[in-house]
Amino acid sequence: MKNKNFMLSLLFLTVLMAGCASQSGWQPVVDPYNDPRAAYINQDLAECKILAEKVSGYTPTEAVKGGLIGGAIGAASGAAIGAAVGSPGRGAAIGAAAGGMSGGVHKGNYAETAYKNAYIRCMRQRGHKVLN
């Protein structure tokens, strides 16, 4: 029962951390000076945001997936190490925590980077000067 509660706590923590990796507030900075398509900046920002979300996957979703996969791998590794020292359950719990958190953070960061890169590429391909 302790391990089940621990795993649920780990899942909750991973979801909470995923919420910190936010795509919703970020958008590229576009310089409108001498931009022949300056009138379309807001429309292009909105359309490119949607496309970037599709390309990257939504960050919280990806972070949860990474957390679950990392937790499963960590639990298996931890159980093996724990079995060697006589406590496979404790080893599995520690491994799941470490693997879940690192997997969630890694997957969330990867999706966030893919999102930003896709957003910037989209705006540049539409002829805008993107500063970041």
User: What phi and psi values does residue 130 have, to the nearest 5 degrees?
Assistant: -100, 130
In the predicted structure, residue 41 carries a pLDDT above the cut 80: yes
Convert the pLDDT of each residue in 71-101 to its tens digit: 666 655 555 566 666 666 666 666 666 665 6
CA-CA distance, 31 to 89, in Å (whole number)?
56
Chain mean pLDDT for the chain: 74
CA-CA distance, 2 to 14, in Å (whole number)?
18
Give the residue extent of every domain in the chain: 2-21+43-130
C-beta neighbour count of 75 within 10 angstroms: 26
> What is the band of 18 on the pLDDT scale with cuts at 50, 70, 90?
very low
User: What phi and psi values does residue 116 have, to the nearest 5 degrees?
Assistant: -65, -45
Convert the pLDDT of each residue in 106-130 to its tens digit: 666 788 899 999 999 999 999 999 9
